[in-house]
Structure 1
Amino acid sequence: MQNETRGVTRWRRSACLAIPAAAAVGGMVTAMMQGALAANLSLSSVPFTLSSKTVAAPNGIGSVLHGIDAGGQKAAAEVGLAKAGLDGICVHATQEVNLPIVGGLGTWSLNISSPEAATPLTHDQLAAGEGLQATKLILDSQALEASTATLNASDATPNVIGAAADSANIKTTGIQDGTPGQFGLDATGGRTDIRNLDADANGATIAGAITLPNLKIGVAHGDSSC
């Protein structure tokens, strides 16, 4: 009799813990079916990390200063890539889950990932269309790091540090809300190559289509990344 009681208790606990996981995955699947995931990966006011081993932006990048609502107004860098090829991606977010009656269920992780290729892709391969492909990729990032970043340019189309945030070149990256007269980075004169991208962000939007090979969406109890 005691064993049966313990078994029922464990079953109820498992059922309760499964609720947020099922709800989160169900919501993401619905969004994918409606095309929402391809258009908007924004997790408003929920900080997350976005990482990728290798990134190639054939048309370069642009960046402006930007204000975001992250539990209050904060400054962030809005980084735009008109076109991007990525060798793998991991979007990792955590959130405290509280349910009526049940109460607090602790920290849960939502991971959206597309694994890197078995044989690492080069920047040339990514720029040519292999790997994960995205257009008009914009990150609202409070911190963005890379082991290396090469911003190619030419005498005719140099990189401009301090370009107008609303310049025509920066707008080609997908950034449309740059404030006139404010600081911007215009590195659209050549391909940008990035290795080991790691961004702490509060929003990521993709205005165009995105191709995610071997897409995985998972929910895990605790702070567990891809």
Structure 2
Amino acid sequence: MSESENRQLSGGTRWRRFAAMMVPATVVAGGIVLGMANGAIAASFAVSGQTFKVGASKLEGDGFKQYGGFAKEKDGTVHPVAVSEISNAKLYDLCQSVKVPDLPVVLTINAGGGGSPATASGLLIDMDSLEGDAEFTNIKIGRDATDLNASATPKSFGQSADKVVITDLEQVARSTSAGVFTLNGLKLKVNVGAAAKECF
């Protein structure tokens, strides 16, 4: 990371190609499943143990928080994750993909194209990784996680920012919950065989 990439400019911080546990990873609209229609929808999901991928050409968000945590499956299996929260987000050219285990089948969902972004509020996500080009406004790194969420582990690492912009976003997550998703131009497809390709 060069000095020019790491310095703050007019209240913003630019970092390139980052991993979720190293710098803030913004919450994205993951966890979208069959049956969701165009428009405002509520979503809340439990951890299944399976990961899914989410990509977007650009994400703009307000009210970002991140801290370490664990995602737990029904059988007790525990996965360390980066827990990320975002109050409000716009997602351009959103793509989500879920691969069916042991079968050449991938479910893909696309939304937010044509200049009409998908929007989300009250997002909470457990993620394994995130990559992209990011700019954070008024970022604070090294906060006590319990100042960001009372249920976090005391004295554990946390970080927050007023605003975030991520381009070329690629995220792998385990679970997502949200207040509302608005999916403009929603397209869902079950891809089989040679067409069973994920978002990235």
Q: TM-score, normalised by structure 2?
A: 0.71
Determine if the alignment matches structure 1 residue 137 to structure 2 residue 131.
no
Q: 1:73 to 1:94 in 2, by over 3 A?
A: same
Unaligned 5+ residue runs, structure 2?
Answer: 1-32
Q: In 2, distance between residues paired with 1:165 and 1:218?
A: 39
* Alpha-carbon offset, residue 150 of structure 1: 0.7
Q: In 2, distance between residues paired with 1:69 and 1:96?
A: 19
Which of 55, 68, 75 pairs up with 2:71?
68
Q: 1:55 to 1:39 in 2, by over 3 A?
A: same
Which of 172, 185, 193 pairs up with 1:214?
185
Q: Please identify which structure carries the higher helix content.
A: 1
Unaligned 5+ residue runs, structure 1?
Answer: 1-26, 98-105, 122-129, 154-158
1:42/1:202 contact within 8 Å kept: no
Partner of 1:108: 105
SS in 1 for 2:135: strand
Q: Deviations over 1:29-66 (max 9, x none)?
A: 2xx37x9x62225662111101111111133x111101
SS in 1 for 2:128: strand
* Alpha-carbon offset, residue 107 of structure 1: 2.8
* Alpha-carbon offset, residue 28 of structure 1: 2.0
CA-atom RMSD in angstroms: 2.6
- AA paired with 1:161? I
Number of residue pairs aligned between Structure 1 and Structure 2: 162
Q: 1:43 to 1:50 in 2, by over 3 A?
A: farther
1:89/1:114 contact within 8 Å kept: yes
- AA paired with 2:129? A
Q: TM-score, normalised by structure 1?
A: 0.63
1:53/1:116 contact within 8 Å kept: no
Q: 1:111 to 1:197 in 2, by over 3 A?
A: same
**Higher Cα Rg, which structure:** 1
- AA paired with 1:81? I
Q: In 2, distance between residues paired with 1:42 and 1:112?
A: 19
1:53/1:196 contact within 8 Å kept: yes
Q: Please identify which structure carries the higher strand content.
A: 2
Partner of 2:100: 95
SS in 2 for 1:214: coil
Paired residues for 1:188-199 under 5 Å: 190-199=162-171
Partner of 1:150: 135
